[in-house]
Amino acid sequence: MRFNRYLIAGLAALCLGSPAAHAAESSPQATVEKLHSALLETMRDGKSLGYKGRASKLEPVLRDAFDFAGIARLVTGRYWAKLDKAKQQAFIAVFTQLSIATYADNFSSFGNERFETRGVEDKKNAQLVKTAIVKPDGKEDTLDYALGKSADGWRIINVVADGVSDLSLKRAEYTAVIGSNGIDTLIAKLNAKVASYEAANK
């Protein structure tokens, strides 16, 4: 695994230049730990799976763990309401695909890391699951997941890696692009980033 405190969240940062029964059974901690379990399994099999295999394996897990539609609304800020439904859906789709691509690229190998859950805190309209990824030498990086409750259960809406909010970074960057060049330019940049991951992993 290539660890970077900005990339560990796996929400696909832009580099410029389920059923009711499931919802009833879920909890914030369970959502996060299910994601971590899938990441570890993918890392262990990373080489044999290859990039496309890792992406295919992680896609359903990521779609189940993250509220991509909700995150899309948040990272586009005041511009979201100005987009027609087709543009909103197009942005959600490419944002989701880039998130999957980022995870598949970053969680590609296993170096005996482990995830630890440190606790759960109540926040306004959310739950914060505090975790860390611990390396064999004892060094660690903190990962705090903010989750909101939806009809499909608890879904991740933000990851704070070593104190840095992925949601805040994206909102600042994405809204700057939309404000200057429009949503079509942002969608094109995200699509280009997805393509760059695919090209780099051939």
Q: Tell me the domains of the chain and their CATH numbers.
A: 20-200 (3.10.450.710)
Answer for the pair 130, 119: CB distance below 8 angstroms, yes or no: yes
Q: What is the pLDDT of residue 21?
A: 40
Q: What tokens appear for 27 in the block?
A: 């909890």
Answer for the pair 170, 13: CB distance below 8 angstroms, yes or no: yes
Q: What is the pLDDT of residue 192?
A: 98
pTM of the model: 0.87
Residue at token pair 């280009």:
192
What are the distances in angstroms from CA 64 to CA 33, 54, 174? Answer: 12, 16, 24
Q: What is the pLDDT of residue 24?
A: 44
Q: What is the pLDDT of residue 5?
A: 41
Strand, helix or coil at 139? coil
Instruction: Please give the Cα distance from 144 to 160 (Å, whole number).
Output: 5
Q: What is the pLDDT of residue 2?
A: 57
pLDDT in tens, the chain (202 residues): 654 443 444 443 433 433 344 444 579 999 999 999 999 999 999 999 999 999 999 999 999 999 999 999 999 999 999 999 999 999 999 999 999 999 999 999 999 999 999 999 999 889 999 999 999 999 999 999 999 998 889 999 999 999 999 999 999 999 999 999 999 999 999 999 999 999 999 8
Instruction: Please give the Cα distance from 145 to 24 (Å, whole number).
Output: 20
